[in-house]
Amino acid sequence: MHRLIPLEIFNVYGLLRNEAWDRYFYNEVVYDEYTASDAKAAENPFGIFNFDREDGRRKFEDEVKKFAQLYPGTIAKEGEEINFQEFYTRYAIVNKKDTSKIDPKLVDELRLKLANRKDEVSSYSLPDEKVGKSILGTVFPQKMRSKSRKVMM
């Protein structure tokens, strides 16, 4: 008499191998390694633009404006203009570039803002004050409640 053992099924069809993941999930491939050039490129996402030169800034502004036109509301709120001068000043402060050619009032204001941040990881961090209420995990779902309310042993 034949018996079905789940472990044998997994082994016969290769469901526990790495290739199974690739076969069943849209042929995705797991990349284990990255090169030093990949790490260096990831450090500076603005590497293709040279902010020290005027033509580099213009190319960057053109790309950002084109992106903002295609996807309104992603970079700035709809109806608002993108403040490139503030961006260049922040970039110079964070990357310790020369700020002598930039308005000193703006530099001081942004340095103060950056110094007063509370360990923000990114600009997408949540605000300190939470809004709303969650009952997740506090109430057992109605559909799963037993009608007889007996203790299960």
DSSP annotation of 142 reads G
Length of the chain: 153
Alpha carbons within 13 A on the beta-carbon side of 22: 7
Residue 98 lies in a domain: yes
Which single residue is written with the structure tokens 């036109």? Answer: 69
pLDDT in tens, 99-151: 888 888 988 988 888 887 755 545 445 456 666 777 766 776 677 666 655 55
Provide the pLDDT for residue 153: 46
**What is the enclosing helix (H) or strand (E) of 18?**
helix 18-24
77: which 2 tokens? 């709120």
101 falls within a domain: yes
Q: Is residue 108 part of a domain?
A: yes
Supply 72's token pair: 């309104």
Is 40 part of a structural domain of the chain? no
Q: How far is C-alpha 132 from the geometric centre of its chain's CA atoms?
A: 24
> Two tokens at 109?
């204001």
pTM summary value = 0.50
Mean pLDDT of 1-23: 73
pLDDT digits 0-9 by tens, 29-38: 556 677 888 7
Residue pLDDT, tens place only, 59-91? 999 999 998 888 888 888 888 888 898 888 888
Residue from 64, 57, 62, 65 nearest 101 by CA: 57
32 or 92: which carries more pLDDT confidence? 92
Which is higher by pLDDT, 57 or 130? Answer: 57
Instruction: Measure CA of the first residue to CA of the last residue in the chain; give whole Å.
Output: 35
Tell me, what amino acid is at 58?
R
Please report the pLDDT score of residue 129 as a whole number: 65
Domain span at 91: 83-115
Mean pLDDT of 20-27: 63
Q: Does residue 102 lie in a domain region?
A: yes
CB atoms under 10 Å from CB of 95, counted, come to 10
Is residue 100, in this structure, part of any structural domain at all?
yes
Q: Determine, yes or no, domain membership for 139.
A: no
Q: What is the pLDDT of residue 39?
A: 76
Dist CA 15 CA 104 (whole Å): 63
Give the total number of structural domains in the chain. 1
